[in-house]
Amino acid sequence: MMDNCTLIAVAAAMSAIDPATPLEDQFRQAARSVKDDWLGHTFDKDGRFAAAVGAVLAKAEEDGRAEDVERIKAEVELLTAINAAFDGVHVDLTRMADLAAAHKPIGMVGIWKETEAVAMKPNVAAKESKP
């Protein structure tokens, strides 16, 4: 369950998504929105990532794009399984391989790292306060 700040960040990121673009670009748009929005700075990286994923998933559901919804959910399930495996939890690797083969990966982690690597936008208020 998401808290109110996360829901606001999801809604803001949803408005930055152009549904006519490929799903990978939609995630990139959401990630940039969360990273650059003032509210995104109230979260740690995991919270910002979750808000970007939530925005893309919610937008796909809102637009009735079932195939995209399945791709997003499959990738989230794979990422969850990988995290669980790192924590020592048994993961059915055969099922995960089948899931990865059935759904074209979006590459959310790579896109996220690419987005995070770009410097944050400077604070507009700080610019305005300079003499």
Per-residue pLDDT of 34-90, as tens digits, reads 888 766 667 788 888 999 999 999 999 999 999 999 999 999 999 999 889 888 898
pTM: 0.81
Residue of 126 and 25 predicted with greater confidence? 25
Residue 127, pLDDT above cutoff 60: no
Which DSSP state fits 16?
Answer: T
Q: Give the Å distances, CA to CA, from 111 to 5, 76, 91, 126.
A: 23, 14, 25, 29
Do residues 17 and 56 lie in contact, with contact meaning Cβ atoms separated by under 8 Å?
Answer: yes
Residue of 117 and 125 predicted with greater confidence? 117
Annotated domain spans of the chain? 4-120
pLDDT band at 120 (very low <50, low <70, confident <90, very high): low
